Amino acid sequence: MMVQATVAIFSSPMTETTSPSVSYELTGDVAVVHLDDGKVNVLSHEIISALHESLDRAEQEARAVVMAGRPGKFSAGFDLKVMQAGPQEAGNLFRAGMDLFLRLYEFPLPVVAACTGHALAAGAIWLMCCDVRIGADVQAKIGLNETAIGMVLPPSVVTLARDRLSPRHVHSSVLLARLYSPQSAIDAGYLDWVVPAGELEQAALAEAAGLAGSLSIDAFAGTRRVVRGPVARAVHQMLDGDTDSFTGGLVT
Protein backbone atom coordinates (compact mmCIF):
# COMPACT_ATOMS: atom_id res chain seq x y z
CA MET A 1 0.00 0.00 0.00
CA MET A 2 1.40 3.39 -0.97
CA VAL A 3 1.72 6.37 1.36
CA GLN A 4 0.99 9.85 0.06
CA ALA A 5 4.01 12.15 0.24
CA THR A 6 2.00 14.76 2.15
CA VAL A 7 1.41 12.64 5.25
CA ALA A 8 4.97 11.97 6.35
CA ILE A 9 8.12 14.00 6.25
CA PHE A 10 10.12 10.91 5.34
CA SER A 11 7.71 9.35 2.84
CA SER A 12 8.50 8.52 -0.77
CA PRO A 13 6.86 6.46 -3.55
CA MET A 14 8.79 3.41 -2.26
CA THR A 15 7.65 3.75 1.34
CA GLU A 16 5.99 0.62 2.71
CA THR A 17 3.49 0.43 5.55
CA THR A 18 3.22 -2.01 8.44
CA SER A 19 -0.09 -0.45 9.58
CA PRO A 20 -2.17 2.53 8.40
CA SER A 21 -0.16 4.74 10.77
CA VAL A 22 3.35 3.26 10.61
CA SER A 23 5.56 3.39 7.52
CA TYR A 24 8.96 1.86 6.86
CA GLU A 25 11.55 2.89 4.30
CA LEU A 26 15.10 1.64 3.76
CA THR A 27 17.42 4.46 2.64
CA GLY A 28 20.86 3.02 2.08
CA ASP A 29 21.79 1.37 5.36
CA VAL A 30 19.20 3.35 7.35
CA ALA A 31 15.70 2.12 8.18
CA VAL A 32 13.30 5.04 8.60
CA VAL A 33 10.27 4.20 10.75
CA HIS A 34 7.61 6.88 10.71
CA LEU A 35 4.51 7.16 12.93
CA ASP A 36 1.65 9.33 11.69
CA ASP A 37 -1.88 8.62 12.91
CA GLY A 38 -3.15 11.95 11.59
CA LYS A 39 -3.74 13.17 15.15
CA VAL A 40 -1.36 13.20 18.13
CA ASN A 41 0.44 9.87 17.57
CA VAL A 42 -0.86 7.93 20.55
CA LEU A 43 0.57 4.49 21.21
CA SER A 44 -2.01 1.70 20.97
CA HIS A 45 -1.48 -2.05 20.83
CA GLU A 46 -1.79 -1.90 17.04
CA ILE A 47 0.82 0.86 16.74
CA ILE A 48 3.21 -0.88 19.13
CA SER A 49 2.90 -4.12 17.16
CA ALA A 50 3.57 -2.29 13.90
CA LEU A 51 6.65 -0.61 15.38
CA HIS A 52 7.94 -4.03 16.47
CA GLU A 53 7.44 -5.32 12.93
CA SER A 54 9.48 -2.42 11.57
CA LEU A 55 12.27 -3.08 14.06
CA ASP A 56 12.22 -6.78 13.12
CA ARG A 57 12.84 -5.81 9.52
CA ALA A 58 15.49 -3.23 10.42
CA GLU A 59 17.48 -5.87 12.29
CA GLN A 60 17.60 -7.94 9.10
CA GLU A 61 18.55 -5.29 6.54
CA ALA A 62 19.75 -2.03 8.15
CA ARG A 63 22.72 -0.75 10.13
CA ALA A 64 20.91 2.15 11.85
CA VAL A 65 17.34 3.30 12.46
CA VAL A 66 15.55 6.64 12.39
CA MET A 67 12.24 6.89 14.27
CA ALA A 68 10.12 9.93 13.47
CA GLY A 69 6.74 11.42 14.28
CA ARG A 70 4.38 13.57 12.27
CA PRO A 71 4.95 17.32 11.84
CA GLY A 72 4.43 18.99 15.20
CA LYS A 73 3.75 15.74 17.07
CA PHE A 74 6.26 13.05 17.99
CA SER A 75 3.93 11.19 20.37
CA ALA A 76 1.41 12.16 23.02
CA GLY A 77 1.98 8.85 24.82
CA PHE A 78 -0.28 5.89 25.46
CA ASP A 79 -3.85 5.84 24.13
CA LEU A 80 -5.83 7.36 27.01
CA LYS A 81 -9.02 5.56 26.00
CA VAL A 82 -7.25 2.28 26.76
CA MET A 83 -5.46 3.58 29.84
CA GLN A 84 -8.76 4.73 31.37
CA ALA A 85 -10.73 1.61 30.39
CA GLY A 86 -9.73 -0.26 33.53
CA PRO A 87 -6.73 -1.59 35.47
CA GLN A 88 -6.26 -4.68 33.31
CA GLU A 89 -6.40 -2.74 30.04
CA ALA A 90 -4.08 -0.04 31.39
CA GLY A 91 -1.57 -2.56 32.71
CA ASN A 92 -1.54 -4.50 29.45
CA LEU A 93 -0.87 -1.39 27.35
CA PHE A 94 1.75 -0.12 29.78
CA ARG A 95 3.58 -3.45 29.61
CA ALA A 96 3.40 -3.57 25.81
CA GLY A 97 4.82 -0.06 25.59
CA MET A 98 7.59 -0.72 28.07
CA ASP A 99 8.57 -3.90 26.24
CA LEU A 100 8.93 -1.79 23.07
CA PHE A 101 10.94 0.91 24.85
CA LEU A 102 13.26 -1.63 26.44
CA ARG A 103 13.77 -3.22 23.05
CA LEU A 104 14.90 0.17 21.76
CA TYR A 105 17.06 0.74 24.84
CA GLU A 106 18.86 -2.56 24.11
CA PHE A 107 18.58 -2.50 20.30
CA PRO A 108 21.66 -3.88 18.49
CA LEU A 109 21.66 -0.99 15.99
CA PRO A 110 22.02 2.75 16.64
CA VAL A 111 18.61 4.43 16.92
CA VAL A 112 18.14 8.11 16.04
CA ALA A 113 14.92 9.86 17.07
CA ALA A 114 13.63 12.66 14.86
CA CYS A 115 11.49 14.48 17.42
CA THR A 116 9.08 16.40 15.22
CA GLY A 117 7.21 18.14 18.04
CA HIS A 118 5.32 17.33 21.24
CA ALA A 119 6.65 14.28 23.15
CA LEU A 120 4.68 13.68 26.33
CA ALA A 121 4.51 10.83 28.87
CA ALA A 122 5.27 7.62 26.93
CA GLY A 123 6.45 9.82 24.06
CA ALA A 124 9.16 11.19 26.36
CA ILE A 125 10.07 7.66 27.50
CA TRP A 126 10.45 6.73 23.84
CA LEU A 127 12.96 9.56 23.40
CA MET A 128 14.89 8.47 26.50
CA CYS A 129 15.40 5.00 25.00
CA CYS A 130 16.91 6.20 21.70
CA ASP A 131 20.63 6.82 21.23
CA VAL A 132 20.59 10.20 19.48
CA ARG A 133 17.61 12.54 19.80
CA ILE A 134 17.36 15.40 17.30
CA GLY A 135 14.46 17.81 17.74
CA ALA A 136 12.68 20.20 15.46
CA ASP A 137 13.00 23.77 16.74
CA VAL A 138 9.26 24.33 16.98
CA GLN A 139 6.76 25.32 19.66
CA ALA A 140 6.38 22.02 21.47
CA LYS A 141 6.32 20.47 24.94
CA ILE A 142 8.51 17.54 25.94
CA GLY A 143 8.45 15.67 29.23
CA LEU A 144 6.93 13.27 31.73
CA ASN A 145 3.65 14.90 32.73
CA GLU A 146 2.20 11.97 34.69
CA THR A 147 2.09 13.57 38.15
CA ALA A 148 0.32 16.59 36.66
CA ILE A 149 -2.49 14.39 35.31
CA GLY A 150 -2.83 12.26 38.46
CA MET A 151 -0.71 9.24 37.59
CA VAL A 152 2.11 7.66 39.56
CA LEU A 153 5.29 6.96 37.58
CA PRO A 154 6.33 3.32 38.05
CA PRO A 155 9.87 2.49 39.27
CA SER A 156 10.84 1.13 35.85
CA VAL A 157 10.21 4.51 34.21
CA VAL A 158 11.97 6.40 37.02
CA THR A 159 14.99 4.10 36.60
CA LEU A 160 15.20 4.90 32.88
CA ALA A 161 14.85 8.60 33.63
CA ARG A 162 17.71 8.47 36.13
CA ASP A 163 19.87 6.80 33.50
CA ARG A 164 19.07 9.01 30.52
CA LEU A 165 18.17 12.46 31.88
CA SER A 166 20.54 15.04 33.32
CA PRO A 167 20.88 14.46 37.08
CA ARG A 168 20.02 18.13 37.61
CA HIS A 169 16.63 17.62 35.95
CA VAL A 170 15.51 14.19 37.19
CA HIS A 171 13.66 15.58 40.24
CA SER A 172 11.89 18.30 38.24
CA SER A 173 11.10 15.97 35.36
CA VAL A 174 9.87 12.97 37.35
CA LEU A 175 8.31 14.49 40.45
CA LEU A 176 7.31 17.99 39.34
CA ALA A 177 6.19 17.02 35.81
CA ARG A 178 8.17 19.86 34.29
CA LEU A 179 7.72 20.20 30.55
CA TYR A 180 10.43 21.57 28.30
CA SER A 181 10.66 23.34 24.99
CA PRO A 182 12.87 21.58 22.42
CA GLN A 183 15.69 24.00 23.23
CA SER A 184 15.48 23.51 27.01
CA ALA A 185 15.00 19.75 26.53
CA ILE A 186 18.65 19.58 25.46
CA ASP A 187 19.89 20.53 28.92
CA ALA A 188 17.31 18.25 30.54
CA GLY A 189 18.53 15.26 28.52
CA TYR A 190 15.49 14.46 26.40
CA LEU A 191 17.17 15.81 23.26
CA ASP A 192 20.77 16.09 22.07
CA TRP A 193 20.32 19.04 19.72
CA VAL A 194 17.68 20.82 17.67
CA VAL A 195 17.54 22.00 14.08
CA PRO A 196 15.00 24.01 12.07
CA ALA A 197 11.96 21.85 11.32
CA GLY A 198 12.71 21.91 7.60
CA GLU A 199 16.15 20.42 8.23
CA LEU A 200 15.11 17.62 10.61
CA GLU A 201 14.79 14.91 7.96
CA GLN A 202 18.24 15.61 6.53
CA ALA A 203 19.84 15.89 9.98
CA ALA A 204 18.36 12.61 11.26
CA LEU A 205 19.23 10.68 8.11
CA ALA A 206 22.75 12.12 8.03
CA GLU A 207 23.37 11.23 11.68
CA ALA A 208 22.05 7.69 11.25
CA ALA A 209 24.00 7.16 8.01
CA GLY A 210 27.16 8.42 9.70
CA LEU A 211 26.72 5.98 12.57
CA ALA A 212 25.94 3.14 10.16
CA GLY A 213 29.11 3.85 8.21
CA SER A 214 31.50 4.53 11.08
CA LEU A 215 30.62 1.91 13.70
CA SER A 216 31.30 -1.79 13.84
CA ILE A 217 27.76 -2.98 14.50
CA ASP A 218 28.96 -6.09 16.34
CA ALA A 219 31.16 -3.96 18.59
CA PHE A 220 28.32 -1.48 19.07
CA ALA A 221 25.92 -4.24 20.13
CA GLY A 222 28.47 -5.73 22.51
CA THR A 223 29.32 -2.40 24.09
CA ARG A 224 25.62 -1.58 24.32
CA ARG A 225 25.20 -4.66 26.51
CA VAL A 226 28.04 -3.50 28.75
CA VAL A 227 26.78 0.09 29.03
CA ARG A 228 23.05 -0.51 29.31
CA GLY A 229 22.83 -4.11 30.46
CA PRO A 230 22.73 -3.46 34.22
CA VAL A 231 19.94 -0.86 33.94
CA ALA A 232 18.04 -2.98 31.41
CA ARG A 233 18.16 -6.02 33.70
CA ALA A 234 16.94 -3.95 36.63
CA VAL A 235 14.05 -2.53 34.60
CA HIS A 236 13.08 -5.98 33.31
CA GLN A 237 12.90 -7.21 36.91
CA MET A 238 10.62 -4.31 37.87
CA LEU A 239 8.12 -4.72 35.05
CA ASP A 240 5.99 -7.54 36.46
CA GLY A 241 5.41 -5.63 39.67
CA ASP A 242 4.90 -2.33 37.86
CA THR A 243 2.35 -3.90 35.54
CA ASP A 244 0.43 -5.52 38.41
CA SER A 245 0.24 -2.27 40.39
CA PHE A 246 -0.30 0.07 37.46
CA THR A 247 -3.80 1.58 37.47
CA GLY A 248 -3.55 3.80 34.40
CA GLY A 249 -6.19 6.03 35.90
CA LEU A 250 -6.39 9.08 38.10
CA VAL A 251 -5.13 8.75 41.65
CA THR A 252 -8.01 9.08 44.13
Contact between 67 and 101 under an 8 Å Cβ cutoff? The reply is no
Encode pLDDT of 81-104 as tens digits: 999 899 999 999 999 999 999 999
Encode pLDDT of 50-87 as tens digits: 999 999 999 999 999 999 999 999 999 999 999 989 99
How many of the other CB atoms lie within 10 Å of CB of 230? Answer: 11
Q: Which residues pair with 180 in a beta bridge?
A: 142
Whole-number pLDDT of residue 14 = 53
Encode pLDDT of 204-222 as tens digits: 999 999 999 999 999 999 9
Answer yes or no: is pLDDT of 40 > 60: yes
Domains of the chain by residue range: 16-245
**pLDDT grade for 4, boundaries at 50, 70 and 90:** very low
CATH number of 16-245: 3.90.226.10
With 0-12 / 13-18 / 19 or more C-beta atoms within 10 angstroms meaning exposed / middle / buried, residue 36 is buried
Q: What percentage of the chain carries pLDDT values higher than 90?
A: 85
Q: Which residue has the higher pLDDT, 20 or 166?
A: 166
- In the chain, the N- to C-terminal Cα span, in Å, equals 46
User: What is d(CA 69, CA 38) in angstroms, rounded to the nearest whole number?
Assistant: 10
Extract the runs of DSSP E, i.e. beta strands, from the chain: 16-19, 22-27, 30-35, 42-43, 64-68, 72-75, 77-78, 111-115, 117-120, 132-136, 142-143, 193-195
